[in-house]
Amino acid sequence: MSLRDALRIPAAEITDESVYRERRRLLAALSVAPAMALSGCGQAEPPPPPKVALTPAQARSGFRTDETLTRFEDVTTYNNFYEFGTGKADPSKAKRTLRTSPWTVAIGGHCAKPGKVSMEDLLKGFKPEERVYRLRCVEGWSMVIPWLGVPLADVLKRFEPTSQAKYVAFTTIADPKQTPGVAWPSLDWPYREGLRIDEAMHPLTLLATGLYGKPLLQQNGAPLRLVVPWKYGFKSIKSIVAIDFVETMPETAWHQAQPSEYGFFSNVNPTVDHPRWSQKTERRISGTASKLFAERIPTRMFNGYADQVAGLYKGLDLKKWF
Ligand code: MTE
The verdict on residue 44 lying in a domain is no
The pLDDT, as a whole number, for residue 6 is: 40
Q: Whose CA is nearest to atom 13 of ligand 1?
A: 234
> What radius of gyration, in Å, describes the C-alpha atoms of the chain?
22
Is residue 47 in a domain? no
Task: Note whether residue 146 is domain-resident.
Answer: yes
The residue nearest atom 24 of ligand 1, judged by CA position, is 79
Report whether 170 contacts 237 (CB < 8 A): yes
What would the DSSP string read from start to end of 97-155? ----SS-EEEEEESBSS-EEEEHHHHHTT---EEEEEEEE-TTSEEEEEEEEEEEHHHH
pTM, full prediction: 0.87
49 within some domain: no
Write out the residue range of the structural domain in which residue 146 sits.
3-32+69-313
Does the annotation place 303 within a ligand binding site?
no
CA distance linking residue 109 with residue 321, whole number of Å: 25
Specify the ligand 1 atom closest to the Cα of 238: 1
SS3 3: helix
151 with 207: CB under 8 angstroms?
A: yes
Model confidence pLDDT, tens digit, residues 210-225? 999 999 999 999 999 9
pLDDT score, position 116 = 98
Answer with the residue of higher pLDDT: 5 or 250: 250
Lowest-pLDDT range, 48-57, 221-230, 242-251, 268-277?
48-57
Residue 133: CATH number of its domain: 3.90.420.10
End-to-end CA distance of the chain: 49
Would you state the pLDDT for residue 145? 98
- Is 104 known as a binding-site position? no
pLDDT tens-digit series, residues 251-296: 999 999 999 999 999 999 999 999 999 999 999 997 676 788 998 9
Distance CA 128, CA 21 (A): 53
pLDDT in tens, 55-69: 999 999 999 999 999
The per-residue pLDDT of the chain, averaged, comes to 89
What are the pocket residues of ligand 1 if the criterion is a CB atom closer than 6 Å to any ligand atom?
Answer: 79-83, 135, 137, 172, 191, 220-221, 233-234, 236-239
| 42 belongs to a structural domain | no
| Inside any domain, residue 54 | no
276 is in an annotated binding site: no
pLDDT at position 188 over 90: yes
Ligand 1 pocket mutation pick from 72, 73, 81, 179 by most atoms within 8 angstroms of CB: 81
CB 197 within 8 A of CB 123: no
Distance 83 CA to ligand 1 centre (A): 10
- Which whole number is the average pLDDT over 67-89? 96
- The structural domain count of the chain equals 1
Residue 82 labelled as part of a binding site: yes
The annotation status of 267 as a binding-site residue, yes or no, is: no
**Is residue 106 assigned to a domain?**
yes
Question: For residues 310 and 321, what is the distance between their CA atoms, to the nearest angstrom?
Answer: 14
CA 90 to chain centre: 21
Domain assignment of residue 299, yes or no: yes
Q: Ligand 1: which of 69, 236, 262 to mutate, judged by most atoms within 8 Å of the beta carbon?
A: 236
The SS3 call for residue 42 is coil
pLDDT for 7 beyond 80: no
Task: Please determine, for residue 28, whether its predicted confidence score (pLDDT) is greater than 50.
Answer: no
Sign of dihedral through CA atoms 181, 102, 229, 52?
Answer: negative
Percent of the chain with pLDDT over 90: 82
